[in-house]
């Protein structure tokens, strides 16, 4: 095994580990394990991970990506919801890299509110059905994160990286941009997963930027975004009337320098920030 993969997990060992743990990959937990060492090293390279980095990984599974990150010299903290996998990961690490360790948080990533050591990068193969909530939750909860490279379902990656006015642009696009700039960073063939998924996967990357405001402003912005995109192709005047009040929605939108006849998919993050600032100022007044 070591001769072919250079210390990382191959297909045979992944199946052996799964059998030993009694793990049968489930769609519910979004478990599709990468068994190709070249793919793992490519992901680590695109993420720009190097010695001294503290990487947060979500859903390490049997440890394929974890070993790749450790091979690059990173410190790794992994969040794993499956207790069997969480318990086995340190043993797998010690077998392949005896001089290195991994910190494991055995918890649902959506419930994690603190990670010791202030990780600076999120690198993960995320469950398809919860990838956006997990990513946004961790970015809003852990301000130390300055970069992201996650493997997600292709349409999710396109949504996160979408520009205003495009078909894929929606609430996740605006919310994600609060934390930095996003771009699709490459594709991942279905054949490198076990089991083989029935959807295509893409890598999506974020380069962190200073948020446009504090946590109070972010919460208002995200609430406005949720309402604006609740019904696509609906003018924001109607979409936001329930939140802002039908009697003042027009004036609040125009006070922010925006058009009440616009649709949510036409507005940038800056537009939503401008609107949120007006909402906050008028609520205070």
pLDDT tens for each residue of the chain, 285 residues long: 333 567 899 999 999 999 999 988 765 555 688 999 999 999 999 999 999 999 999 999 999 999 999 999 999 999 999 999 999 999 999 999 999 999 999 999 999 999 999 999 999 999 888 999 999 999 999 999 999 999 999 999 999 999 999 999 999 999 999 999 999 999 999 999 988 888 899 999 999 999 999 999 999 999 999 999 998 778 999 999 999 999 999 999 999 999 999 999 999 999 999 999 999 998 875
Indicate whether 142 and 265 sit together in one domain. no
To the nearest 10°, report the CA torsion of 94, 97, 103, 108: -80
User: Edge-to-edge strands of the sheet including 75-79?
Assistant: 103-105, 75-79, 54-58, 121-125, 147-153, 201-208, 180-188
Q: How many domains, in total, are found in the chain?
A: 2
Bridge partners for 112 per DSSP: none
Last residue of a domain, one of 208, 224, 241: 208
Residue 19 and residue 51 in one domain: yes
d(CA 102, CA 125): 17
Query: CA-to-CA distance for 280 and 277, rounded, in angstroms?
Result: 5
Tell me how far apart the alpha carbons of residues 145 and 206 are, in angstroms, rounded to a whole number: 10
CB 44 within 8 A of CB 64: no
What ranges make up the beta strands (E) of 64-208?
A: 75-79, 103-105, 121-125, 147-153, 180-188, 193-194, 201-208
Q: Are residues 201 and 221 in the same domain?
A: no
Which of 162, 180, 208 is at the close of a domain?
Answer: 208
Please check whether residues 193 and 228 belong to one and the same domain: no
Please give the Cα distance from 180 to 139 (Å, whole number).
Answer: 10
Question: In this structure, are residues 147 and 208 in contact, taking their beta carbons and an 8 Å threshold?
Answer: yes
Q: How many CB atoms lie within 10 A of CB 44?
A: 22
Q: pTM for the full model?
A: 0.93
Whether a cis peptide bond, with omega within 30° of 0, leads into 195 is: yes
Among 208, 234, 265, the domain boundary falls at 208
* Nearest C-alpha neighbor of 219 from the set 270, 149, 277: 277
**Same domain? 110 vs 146:** yes
Residue range of the domain that includes 23: 2-208
Closest CA to 210 of 180, 172, 173, 174: 180
d(CA 184, CA 187): 8
Q: Judge if 171 and 220 occupy the same domain.
A: no
CATH number at residue 140: 3.40.50.150
Q: What is the pLDDT of residue 27?
A: 59
**Residue 127, pLDDT score:** 84
User: Looking at residue 2, what is its pLDDT?
Assistant: 38
Structure tokens at 264: 């949510």
Check which CATH number belongs to the domain holding 274 and give it. 1.10.8.100
| Residues across the chain | 285
Shared domain check, 260 and 155? no
HSE-CB for 113 with a 13 A CA cutoff? 1
Same domain, 62 and 180: yes
Which of these, 125, 84, 80, 127, lies nearest to 107 by C-alpha position?
80
Does 6 share its domain with 142?
yes
Q: What is the pLDDT of residue 5?
A: 64
Same domain, 7 and 76: yes
| 119 in the same domain as 25 | yes
244 and 202, same structural domain? no
């Amino acid at each position: 095994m070591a001769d072919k993969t250079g210390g990382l997990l191959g297909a045979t060992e992944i199946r052996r580990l799964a059998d030993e743990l009694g793990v049968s990959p489930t769609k519910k937990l979004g478990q599709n394990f990468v068994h190709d060492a070249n793919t793992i090293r490519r992901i680590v390279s695109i993420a720009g991970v190097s010695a001294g980095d503290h990487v947060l990984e979500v859903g390490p599974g049997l440890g394929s990506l974890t070993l790749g990150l450790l091979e690059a010299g990173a410190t790794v903290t992994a969040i794993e919801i499956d207790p069997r996998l969480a318990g086995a990961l340190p043993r797998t690490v010690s077998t392949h890299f005896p001089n290195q360790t991994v910190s494991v948080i055995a918890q649902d990533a959506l419930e994690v509110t603190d990670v010791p050591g202030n990780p600076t990068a999120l690198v993960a193969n995320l469950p398809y059905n919860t990838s956006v909530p997990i990513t946004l939750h961790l970015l809003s909860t852990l301000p130390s994160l300055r970069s992201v490279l996650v493997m997600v379902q292709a349409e999710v990656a396109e949504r996160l990286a979408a520009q205003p006015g495009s078909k894929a642009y929606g609430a996740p696009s605006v919310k994600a941009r609060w934390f930095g700039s996003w771009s699709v960073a490459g594709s991942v063939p279905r054949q490198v997963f076990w089991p083989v998924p029935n959807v295509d996967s893409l890598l999506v990357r974020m380069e962190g930027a200073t948020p446009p405001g504090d946590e109070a402003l972010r919460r208002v912005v995200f609430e406005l975004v949720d309402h604006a995109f609740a019904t696509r192709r609906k003018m924001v005047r109607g979409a936001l009337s329930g939140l802002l009040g039908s009697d003042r929605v027009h004036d609040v939108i125009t006070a922010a320098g925006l058009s009440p006849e616009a649709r949510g998919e036409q507005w940038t993050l800056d537009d939503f920030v401008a609107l949120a600032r007006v909402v906050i100022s008028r609520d205070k007044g």
